[in-house]
A and B are shown apart, each in its own frame.
Chain A
Amino acid sequence: ETGVTQTPRHLVMGMTNKKSLKCEQHLGHNAMYWYKQSAKKPLELMFVYNFKEQTENNSVPSRFSPECPNSSHLFLHLHTLQPEDSALYLCASSQDRSLEGTYEQYFGPGTRLTVT
């Protein structure tokens, strides 16, 4: 248990569906991240939030829409996805990113998404 929870753990959705992934951290962190992990690519950073403000959008298609209502919760809204979007979506949190120096990320268990 890393202190970061993700729901659902598994999701199957059609290309016309709309669904949301949820992440919650209980570590008192102020930065949260979404990553995509697919079979043939390294872990890819999608979005970064620091104190609820988005600080990084790594050229992610608009069919992925993040939302960070507070420092403890992060959502990823999905709509009109493609089969190639099937992957493990990981959420992570860390200390405040405005501090200097390195930071340590704590990952949730991920949501295994399958787009049919």
Chain B
Amino acid sequence: TQLLEQSPQFLSIQEGENLTVYCNSSSVFSSLQWYRQEPGEGPVLLVTVVTGGEVKKLKRLTFQFGDARKDSSLHITAAQPGDTGLYLCAGAGYGQNFVFGPGTRLSVLP
């Protein structure tokens, strides 16, 4: 069974600060995804990474897939209140269903 750990579990920061959240596993994934979920809504896909060492940028968000394809990080620059939400990572082996981590709950205070 593939298990994903995410850290920190909770994070509360002031608007304008930078932050990094992490997703780790002992398993190798063929692809890894990050989602953001806001209260009362379903998760929304932010990015998919498939190559070890890959870095993708989405405006103020930077995603990195570890070289060994076992871990990933999400860095947010100059966080805004609109970034508040639950950040979920999900990993899948080739042809397998995605397994989700427990999430990091981010609160950005104005």
Contacts and interface: CB of A to CB of B under 8 A. Distances in A.
B43 A107 contact: yes
B58 to A, nearest CB: 14
Q: DSSP class of A's interface residues: helix, strand, loop or mixed?
A: loop
A105 B98 contact: yes
Contacts of A100: 95
A106 interface: yes
B45 A106 contact: yes
Q: DSSP class of B's interface residues: helix, strand, loop or mixed?
A: loop
A43 B88 contact: yes
Interface bin, chain A: 20 to 34
B45 A104 contact: yes
A82 B102 CA distance: 23
A32 interface: no
Contacts of A106: 45
B48 interface: yes
Interface in A71-116: 90, 92, 100-102, 104-110
A110 B99 CA distance: 18
B30 A105 contact: no
Given A42-B101, A43-B100, A45-B97, A102 B50 contact: yes
B49 to A, nearest CB: 9
A34 B95 CA distance: 18
Given A43-B88, A102-B31, A102-B48, A108 B101 contact: no
17 contacts: A42-B4, A42-B88, A42-B100, A42-B103, A43-B88, A45-B97, A45-B98, A45-B99, A56-B97, A104-B33, A104-B48, A107-B44, A108-B42, A109-B41, A109-B42, A110-B40, A110-B41
Interface of A: 2, 4, 41-43, 45, 48, 56, 90, 92, 100-102, 104-110
